[in-house]
Each structure stands twice: as structure tokens, then as C-alpha cells.
């Protein structure tokens, strides 16, 4: 029932109710009325709170009368009582606003109109969320619509989130500045409207926006971020609601000029989110945004070249859409002078790198250099990106080009390898550029004072950092040695017990037994050798520590290879059923193959290190000492 109609149709009834409430207001002791302000610590009676949420206004007035008489307090004091969550009777009535709200609104002290509960919500918040337009209309003249709850939401945020159009109209007509109010998520009511997907609510808010007010406030992009927070256009792109984009373009096209926190345009975000329809829409409406940089100096096409997680077909479509604005891709440069191939190689976007290398119209980008003289191969090698494989194998790539430091791609990687324990990525990158014939720069011998000196030996690792690794490896090798020793004496199938053949293994004539015995012996001796070498890591010489650790890896590797083989052979030779023997053999072979594959990946850094030092003609075992 509409509040205004209720008051108009039942004037006599409402007048009688108002007199009863007026009597409660003045019925208490005058001294108490003056000196007994509402106490926040006093808990509201639950029965009264429940009655306030119901439609029976006469029952509510009787309940107020009974509580005032029982507790000997005035009506303002009772109205100031709080529930455990800080709600007053007005909070309770605002949520339903059947009959109780209009009855008590004129008797509520002014400071209680905009008082907050534990969530920071005023009665206006609750009425707006519930869509009670009558309550909002009564509360607005006295309440403060700009009050924010603990989440930073205003009453307009609540009305928009719950799609109450009439309430929205009341709020924006009372205070249009609510349209610019941001919550803790930096979202204005416009952003919330986009999230709801209600185009009618969005249109209502757009019509309330003042273009002149915008241009007066918007003096810079940083100012727009402060005023609007998150751009509603950016939010529409995230949710991929093209109809919202169209409506905002028709009503307020200046919204498309708003930037995000990284100074990115809506086109930057559409490309980042791989939203092709959004990219095409923005390119049609705002074609010049394809040439605008963000705070990092990247154009939208550069953002597309960073997205390695996107399918190559989708990346190509976006790149081609962006190139429609300007046919020569060499014109799309970052602040560092990097083209799209530089950016793709730097960020490891192999799909874009492959697309550029396959397209003849991008040939002039392959050996182009940025302001630091780096080619795309330099950047891929410097950042250990997988795109270095594509670039290093490309015949059109000039492997001899140097950057401003007179370094080739190979020199760039070697400069980063300062200690023995360099990352796997560095080792793989060095192997890649070295195997394709990338030379070391001879210009360093001219440009650097130490350019003609022999290579410096690598710094020793911090032993404290790998002590746990050494201790763990020692324990494992000791366990393997004990297990293989026991297996060598307790052979599969046992021994013969007759006098002439006593002590001879029963399965000695089997070929797989010989495989078992051989692999078991190798595993035993390798584990013992690894233990002895690891003991050397306790001497007080950092380079000898390194030598001991590196040399121990070889017997460890041999142990891990032969121990599974010994187990597979031992189980196979003792199986009596043919099909079961074959099954165990196949299962063991698959497991051994998996173990060897993983070992190959783990030991690649060591192999790369040996290859690197062998290139400098350092003889073994001084390869690991690197003594010059």
C-alpha cells in the first residue's frame, strides 16, 4: 500500500495514532526527558523489535506504550535503543515500511535519522535496499544520502544493486553527487549498474549525469580516477556486455575517455581480456585509442603480444584488428623503442612470435633494435623465454648483432651466469643460443678494459644454502647402499643347498638374474662413491666443496638409473607365470623411462655448465674448479 494514500485516506485514524505517540513523548518525567538521552549501551527489547517489523501499527503503538510505562522512559529514549547489531526501531521499520515507519518517523530525533548500525548502515540504506520508495522519500529531507556503510556503499549503491528504479530517481534528484560516490571496491553506482546487467537502471543513471559537471571536474586523468574510481566502460568490458557499451556510447561517449589505474584505455582492457567483439566495437568508435599508450608505454597491440595463454587464432584476430588502424607495424613502438616482436619475445608469447615470423610483411621487424640496441633475440635470451627457440632457429635472424653494450645474445646470457648454481632457464637458454652458432662478441675486447682477459671463474655457491641438500643426498645414498648390499646377499630365488652346489644362486642361469646382479652391484658401488665424494664437501675450501658436490652427482645419477633396473629384473626373474612376468616387465620399463626422463631435465643445467666451460678449453676435472 502506498504511504501517501494511507495517510490521505485515513486522516482521522492517523491523527489519533499521532496523539498517542505524542502522549508517550511528553508523558515521561520532564527532567528525565531533558537529561536522559538515548543510551547506546541499552539493548532494545526483542519483542518490540519484532513488532516493529510487522504491519500492525496499532499493536506497535501499544507495545511502545507498554515499554515506556514499564521502563519509565520517554519515547525518544526508547527509539534510541539498539539491537545487538546496532539497529534501532527505525532501522527495523525502514526495511518493510508497511505502517510502522510513517507512524514513528516524525517522533524520531534528528540524530537517529542517520544513525548507523554495526555495518555502518543508516535507515536510508535499508530502505533503499528494500526498495521502499515511500520510506526513502520521508527519510531524505532529514537523512544524509552521502553516508557510507562499512563497505563504502551509499544508499544509491544499494538501490542500484537491487534494481529499484523509483528509489534511484528519488536519490539522484536529491543529490546528483551520489553518482560519483565510490565504495571500497572503487566502484561508483554506474559500475554497479553494469554489474547487474540492467540496461534500464544504467540508462536512468546516465541521464542523471551532467556533462558540464564532468568537464568542470575532469582536469586530468588522475582526477578522473579520483572522481569515478573504476570506469563503468572498463567494467562493461570485463563482463562482456556489449549492449551496455552501446548504451554508454549513445548517452555519454566521454565515458570512453576514462583510464584505469595503469592509465590504460578501454581498448587496452578489451585486448587484455581477449574480448574480440569489444576490440572491434572500440576500434570502430574510438579508432585513435589504438595509438594511445598506458603508464608503462604500451599500446593496445603490445598488450595483445603479451598474452601467451590465449589461442593463436584469437591473438592473430586481435592483432589484425589493431593493425587495421595503421598498416606498418614498425610504427607501434613502446617508450623503449620496442616493436611488437620485441614485446612478444620479451614476454614469451610464442604464438605471436610464430605468427610474425611466418608473415613476410613483418620481415623488417626481425632484426630491428630498440633504444638499448637489443633485438628480439637479445630480449628473449635475457629473460629466458621459450620464444628464444623460435628466434634462434630462424635463418633471417642475425646472430651477430650486438646491443649498446657490444654484447650478442650469447654474451647477455653469460653475463647473468655469475655462480655455479645458476637457474635451469639460464642454462637452457645458453645451450640454445650456443648450439645455433651465436658467437661471443669480439667488440668487447675493444670496448671493455678487461675484454681480452681470460674468463673469470664462477663464484662458488653459498654452502649454507645447499647444506640441507647435501645432508639429504647423503642419507639417501646411505639407504641405497644398505638396501643394495642386503639384496646382493639375499638374492632372488635363494641359494642351492646341495653339497656340491651349496651357495650357488638357484637362478644363476637366468639372463635376467645377471641383469639384476650387475645393476645391483653398480648401484651399491655408485652410492658408496657418492657418499665418499659428499664427505669432501666438509673441507674448508669453497671451490673444493663445489667440486665434491658436482662430482657426486654422477654416481648419484648412476645409482638412480641402475637401482630401478635391478628391481625390475629381480621381480621378473622370480615370477612363475608368463603373463605376470611380462606385465611386471612392461610396468617396470615404463617407470624406469619416466625416471630417466625426469633425471634428464634435472641434470640439463649441469650438462650445460660442462659444455660452457669446455668451450673455454678448461680440462676435466679442473672444469669444475674453473682454475685459470
For the chain, what are the domain ranges?
Answer: 328-453, 463-493+504-625
Q: Is 596 in a helix, a strand, or coil? A: helix
Give the mean pLDDT of 425-431. 77
Least confident of 43-47, 93-97, 117-121, 175-179: 93-97
Which residues on adjacent β-strands are paired with residue 419? 459
pLDDT band at 193 (very low <50, low <70, confident <90, very high): very high
What 8-state DSSP symbol labels residue 459? B
Higher pLDDT, 205 or 504: 205
Dihedral sign computed on CA atoms, order 247, 252, 253, 257: negative
Minimum mean pLDDT among 17-26, 172-181, 218-227: which range? 218-227
* Average model confidence (pLDDT) across the chain: 77
The more confident residue out of 317 and 291 is: 291
% of residues, the chain, pLDDT over 70: 74
- 543-562: average pLDDT: 80
Instruction: Name the phi and psi angles at 487, rounded to 5.
Output: -65, -35
Max mean pLDDT among 293-297, 325-329, 411-415 falls in: 293-297
pLDDT digits (tens, 9 = 90+) for 496-546: 666 666 667 776 777 888 888 888 889 888 888 988 888 887 777 766 777
Confidence of residue 352 (pLDDT cuts 50, 70, 90): confident
If one compares 431 and 15, the residue with the highest pLDDT of the two is: 431
User: Is residue 340 exposed (0-12), middle (13-18) or buried (19+ Cβ within 10 Å)?
Assistant: buried
Among the ranges given (6-15, 186-195, 372-381, 618-627), the one the predictor scored with the smallest mean pLDDT? 618-627
Q: For residues 602-606, give the mean pLDDT.
A: 55
Output 605 or 318, whichever has higher pLDDT.
318
Using only C-alpha atoms, what is the Rg of the chain?
39
Q: What is the mean pLDDT of residues 577-599?
A: 77
Nearest to 507 by CA among 515, 580, 564, 499: 515
Mean pLDDT of 307-325: 70
What is the length of the chain?
A: 628
Where is pLDDT greater, at 138 or 308? 138
Statement: residue 475 has pLDDT above 70: yes
Is the pLDDT score of 284 beyond 80? yes
Assign 34 a pLDDT band (cuts: 50, 70, 90). very low
- pLDDT class of 450 with cuts at 50, 70, 90: low
Q: What's phi and psi for 541, nearest 5 deg? A: -145, 110
Position 463 scores a pLDDT of 57
Fold of 328-453: 1.25.40
Residues 6+ apart with CB under 8 A from 554: none
Per-residue confidence (pLDDT) for residue 14, from 0 to 100: 57
Asked if residue 159 has pLDDT above 80, the reply is yes
> Would you tell me the crossing angle of helices 165-174 and 199-208 to the nearest 10 degrees?
10
Reported as a single tens digit per residue, the pLDDT across 570-583 is 877 777 767 777 88
pLDDT of 31 reads 47
Mean pLDDT confidence for 439-460: 65
Measure the CA–CA gap between 344 and 628, rounded to whole angstroms.
40
Angle between helices 123-130 and 165-174 (to 10 degrees): 140
pTM of the predicted structure, to 2 decimals: 0.70
Amino acid at each position: 500500500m502506498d504511504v501517501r494514500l494511507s495517510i490521505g485516506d485515513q486522516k482521522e485514524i492517523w491523527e489519533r495514532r499521532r496523539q498517542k505517540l505524542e502522549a508517550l513523548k511528553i508523558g515521561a518525567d520532564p527532567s528525565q526527558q531533558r537529561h536522559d538521552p538515548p543510551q547506546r549501551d541499552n539493548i532494545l527489547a526483542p519483542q518490540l523489535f519484532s513488532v516493529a517489523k510487522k504491519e500492525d501499527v496499532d499493536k506497535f503503538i501499544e507495545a511502545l506504550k507498554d515499554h515506556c510505562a514499564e521502563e519509565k522512559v520517554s519515547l525518544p529514549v526508547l527509539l534510541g535503543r539498539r539491537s545487538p547489531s546496532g539497529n534501532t526501531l527505525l532501522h527495523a521499520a525502514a526495511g518493510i515500511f508497511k505502517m510502522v515507519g510513517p507512524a514513528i518517523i516524525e517522533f524520531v530525533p534528528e540524530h537517529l535519522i542517520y544513525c548507523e548500525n554495526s555495518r555502518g548502515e543508516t535507515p536510508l540504506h535499508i530502505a533503499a535496499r528494500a526498495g521502499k520508495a515511500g520510506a526513502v522519500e520521508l527519510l531524505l529531507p532529514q537523512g544524509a544520502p552521502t553516508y557510507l556503510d562499512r563497505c563504502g556503499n551509499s544508499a544509491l549503491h544499494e538501490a542500484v544493486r537491487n534494481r529499484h528504479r523509483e528509489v534511484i530517481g528519488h536519490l539522484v534528484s536529491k543529490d546528483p553527487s551520489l553518482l560519483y560516490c565510490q565504495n571500497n571496491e572503487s566502484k561508483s553506482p554506474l559500475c554497479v549498474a553494469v554489474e547487474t546487467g540492467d540496461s534500464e537502471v544504467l540508462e536512468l543513471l546516465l541521464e542523471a549525469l551532467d556533462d558540464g559537471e564532468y568537464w568542470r571536474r575532469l582536469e586530468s586523468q588522475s582526477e578522473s580516477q579520483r572522481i569515478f574510481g573504476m570506469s563503468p566502460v572498463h567494467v562493461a568490458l570485463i563482463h562482456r556486455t556489449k549492449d551496455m557499451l552501446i548504451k554508454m556510447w549513445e548517452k555519454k561517449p566521454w565515458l570512453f575517455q576514462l583510464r584505469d589505474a595503469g592509465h590504460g584505455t578501454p581498448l587496452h582492457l578489451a585486448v587484455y581480456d581477449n574480448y574480440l567483439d569489444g576490440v572491434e566495437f572500440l576500434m570502430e568508435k574510438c579508432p585513435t585509442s589504438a595509438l594511445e599508450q598506458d603508464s608503462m608505454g604500451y599500446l593496445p597491440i603490445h598488450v595483445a603480444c603479451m598474452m601467451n595463454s590465449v589461442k593463436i587464432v584469437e591473438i592473430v584476430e586481435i592483432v589484425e584488428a589493431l593493425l587495421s588502424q595503421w598498416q606498418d607495424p614498425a610504427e607501434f613502438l613502446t617508450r623503449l623503442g620496442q616493436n611488437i616482436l620485441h614485446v612478444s619475445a620479451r614476454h614469451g608469447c610464442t604464438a605471436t612470435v610464430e605468427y610474425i615470423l611466418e608473415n613476410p610483411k613483418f620481415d623488417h621487424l626481425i632484426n630491428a633494435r630498440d633504444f638499448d640496441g637489443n633485438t628480439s633475440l637479445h630480449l628473449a635470451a635475457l629473460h629466458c623465454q621459450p620464444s628464444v627457440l623460435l628466434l634462434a632457429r630462424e635463418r633471417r635472424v642475425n646472430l651477430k648483432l650486438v646491443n649498446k653494450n657490444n654484447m650478442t645474445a650469447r654474451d647477455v646470457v653469460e653475463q647473468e651466469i655469475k655462480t655455479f648454481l645458476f637457474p635451469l632457464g639460464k642454462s637452457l637458454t645458453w645451450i640454445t643460443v650456443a648450439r645455433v652458432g651465436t658467437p661471443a662478441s669480439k667488440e668487447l675486447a675493444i670496448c671493455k678494459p678487461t675484454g681480452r682477459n681470460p674468463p673469470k671463474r664462477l663464484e662458488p655457491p653459498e654452502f649454507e644454502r645447499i647444506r640441507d641438500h647435501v645432508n639429504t643426498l647423503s642419507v639417501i645414498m646411505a639407504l641405497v647402499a644398505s638396501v643394495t648390499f642386503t639384496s646382493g646377499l639375499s638374492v632372488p630365488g635363494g641359494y642351492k643347498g646341495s653339497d656340491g652346489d651349496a651357495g650357488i644362486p638357484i637362478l644363476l642361469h637366468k639372463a635376467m638374474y645377471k641383469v639384476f646382479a650387475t645393476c645391483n652391484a653398480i648401484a651399491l658401488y655408485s652410492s658408496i662413491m657418492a657418499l665418499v665424494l659428499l664427505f669432501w664437501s666438509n673441507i674448508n675450501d669453497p671451490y673444493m666443496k663445489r667440486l665434491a658436490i658436482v662430482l657426486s652427482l654422477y654416481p648419484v645419477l648412476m645409482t638412480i638409473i641402475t637401482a630401478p633396473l635391478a628391481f625390475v629384473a629381480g621381480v621378473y626373474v622370480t615370477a612363475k607365470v608368463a603373463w605376470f612376468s611380462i606385465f611386471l616387465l612392461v610396468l617396470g620399463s615404463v617407470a624406469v623411462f619416466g625416471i630417466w626422463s625426469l633425471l634428464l631435465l634435472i641434470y640439463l643445467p649441469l650438462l650445460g655448465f660442462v659444455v660452457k666451460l669446455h668451450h673455454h678449453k678448461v680440462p676435466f676435472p679442473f672444469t669444475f674448479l674453473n682454475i685459470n
